[in-house]
Amino acid sequence: LNFRKVHFVTSAPDIRHLPNDGGIEIAFAGRSNAGKSSALNALTQQRQLARTSKTPGRTQLINLFELEPGKRLVDLPGYGYAQVPLDMKLKWQASLSEYLQRRESLRALVLLMDIRHPLKDLDLQMLEWASNSDLKILVLLTKADKLNPGPRKNVVQQVRKATTVFGDNVFVEAFSSLKGIGVEEVTRILSEWYQS
Ligand code: GDP
């Protein structure tokens, strides 16, 4: 699977407006600022696939990309902005949970967390929804270049241990868009998931 062949398909304001629920989808999610846009750009080797500057509080769109016919990448809105009004936060959460639980073509969730602040409440909530829906889960501990190799390894191990409660389908990898850490491994894992 060639991730460089990615192209934009459409944006949707919510899951009701997504295109046909067929083929295989893998969704990317995470707290805002976790490094999701950078990771998507690194994996697809694009400079601006996902825009890296966003305005907090604005309605965020679900962006769909296609790698091959029927194989899609889904960029879900970042969550956890402090400034967002509560009713909007709750709406996003309802929308995310609905998507994770109802979308037939959804095979896996890639959940991005800053390696220095992993497993916040909303991350745990996402893990719970995804595991309840029997999705494969890949936790990417982003900005791994911010830690030295020793501490980095420790965090990966801690997060692996802490996520065993979500079942056997949880994988945890250190990742850095900046230094290319984990890019090959993640590409390999996702290619496999798109084939199966
Ligand atoms: P998003 O909100 O999850 O899409 O996050 P972005 O990709 O926009 O990144 C948020 C911030 O983290 C930006 O200032 C990036 O430059 C920075 N960032 C993203 N990835 C990395 C990385 O691998 N290493 C470092 N050091 N900073 C990163």
pLDDT in tens, the chain (196 residues): 999 999 999 998 888 899 989 999 999 999 999 999 999 999 999 988 866 545 555 557 889 999 999 999 999 988 888 788 888 888 888 888 999 999 999 999 999 999 999 999 999 999 999 999 999 999 999 999 999 999 999 999 999 999 999 999 999 999 999 999 999 999 999 999 999 7
Segment holding 19, helix H or strand E: none
Measuring CA to CA, which residue among 176, 178, 23 is closest to residue 186?
176
* The ligand 1 atom nearest the CA atom of 54: 2
Indicate the residue type of 179.
K
Segment holding 26, helix H or strand E: strand 24-30
Phi and psi at 109, nearest 5°, equal: -115, 130
List b or e across 160-176, with b for residues whose CB sees 16 or more CB atoms inside 10 angstroms.
Answer: eebbeebeeebbbbbbb
For residue 186, the tally of other CB atoms under 10 A from its CB is 20
So where are the chain's domains?
3-195
Helices (H), the chain: 36-44, 86-102, 121-132, 149-162, 183-195
Give the position of tokens 């109802």.
102
The residue whose CA is least distant from atom 8 of ligand 1 is 52
> What's the CA dihedral at 37, 31, 131, 107 to 10 degrees?
-20
- Determine whether domain 3-195 maps to CATH 3.40.50.300: yes
Sign of the Cα pseudo-torsion (175, 181, 184, 185, in order):
negative
Strand partners, 11: 63
Residue 34 CB less than 6 A away from ligand 1: yes
Report how far ligand 1's centroid is from the alpha carbon of 52 (Å): 8
Measuring CA to CA, which residue among 151, 76, 167 is closest to residue 115?
151
Residue 78 CB less than 6 A away from ligand 1: yes
* The ligand 1 atom nearest the CA atom of 52: 8
Phi and psi at 176, nearest 5°, equal: -145, 115
Indicate the residue type of 44.
T
Q: What ipTM, to 2 d.p.?
A: 0.99
